[in-house]
A = this chain, B = another copy of it.
Amino acid sequence: MAVSTHPLRALRWDGRRLWILDQTLLPGREAWLELTGAADTAAAIRRLAVRGAPLIGIVAAYGVAMEVAHQPGLGALERATGELRDARPTAVNLAWAVDRVHAAGLGAGPATLAAAVRAEAQAIHAEEDAASAAIAAAGADLLAGARRLMTICNTGALAAGGDGSALAIALELHRRSGVEVLACETRPLLQGARLTVWELARHGVPHELLVDGAAAGLLRRGAADAVVVGCDRVAANGDVANKVGTYGLALAARPAGVPFVVAGPTSSIDVALPDGDGIEIEERDGGEVRGFGEAMVTLPGTPVRNPAFDVTPAGLITALVTERGVAAPPSAESLRGLLT
């Protein structure tokens, strides 16, 4: 694959219409899907055609904007807000973005409601783009000198408006001084194998793929200088919900003596949530675990536990990198410092 110099983006917005890169088809096929309103946008979020905490916030905001463009009025605004807010429970960016466009719509008069919602959605998109760049720079400063980063899931352009969070840091380090990325495959849906490897290959960043179970042992053997991950929700005390498998990486980073860094926009911080125990963990369908694409890998009907996320306690986190700066370590105090 040729190394692309164009920025990689997972969504296109032309001021009225939205297309998303259907992430369920990657890396085999690059297909763009047009979304038209709240229902198809919510469905695309639920089936993970679009995913990544910052990105689903942006896309959901556009979903509301498109809905009220078709049917201006408070009824459509309320319906679209409700439908999109509930599309996935764990990431807080989704509710945050939907609530922002909802408030913008409520604050406008009937004649300007649709325009106000669209403008707010575009503002969110622009802010999240800028946040990616700021996170990349701050994270690369923090990890200057690191030669090998381990990560999980996908936290790049396919997860955000700009270059992403954790993967944006890796990309910035690659530009500055060179870096290799160890990508955990991220079962069950293989966002690492399918999406992160695809992004890294597009950017020409050296990388190696590993199964999630290999991460702890490889860290113990010195395979990485740091672990860098994204976040779906950060509680007020610094506990972090992120893709299932993240907590295990944090546990392994400590005895390996390498920093465990979480990256994400401040829109991921939920100040209303005291700690991680209150985070609702989405349980997804067992079919994701029983099968693998077309292949069935266990007996049909096998009972499954399939949490999509886990919680990493703040005490295991070296630093939280946001567009407003670094909380090292994240705590009630350091997070308040970032947000005020």
Contact = CB atoms under 8 A, between A and B. Distances in A.
A211 B158 CA distance: 23
Nearest to A210: B305
A302 B213 contact: no
Nearest to A251: B251
Is chain A's interface secondary structure helix, strand, loop, or mixed overall? mixed
B299 A214 contact: no
Given A194-B297, A201-B299, A302-B197, A251 B182 contact: no
A187 interface: yes
B187 A310 contact: no
A262 B171 CA distance: 41
Interface stretch (A6-14, A52-60, A288-296): A288-296
B197 A289 contact: no
Interface string A245-286: 101100110010000000000000000000000000100001
Contacts of A244: 211, 213-214, 217
Interface in A164-213: 182, 184-188, 190, 193-194, 197-198, 201, 206-213
A125 to B, nearest CB: 29
Given A209-B290, A209-B302, A251-B252, A307 B245 contact: no
Interface string A106-140: 00000000000000000000000000000000000
A39 interface: no
B245 A214 contact: yes
B297 A217 contact: no
Contact of A294 (B215, B289, B294): B294
A298 interface: yes
A170 B247 CA distance: 27
24 contacts: A1-B299, A27-B298, A185-B187, A185-B289, A197-B298, A206-B303, A208-B304, A209-B286, A209-B302, A209-B304, A210-B305, A213-B245, A213-B248, A215-B248, A216-B248, A217-B307, A217-B309, A217-B310, A217-B311, A220-B247, A247-B252, A251-B252, A294-B295, A295-B295
Interface of A: 1, 27-28, 152, 182, 184-188, 190, 193-194, 197-198, 201, 206-218, 220, 223, 243-245, 247-248, 251-252, 255, 281, 286, 289-290, 292-299, 302-307, 309-311
Nearest 6 Cβ contacts at the A-B interface: A213-B245, A217-B310, A216-B248, A187-B211, A212-B213, A293-B295
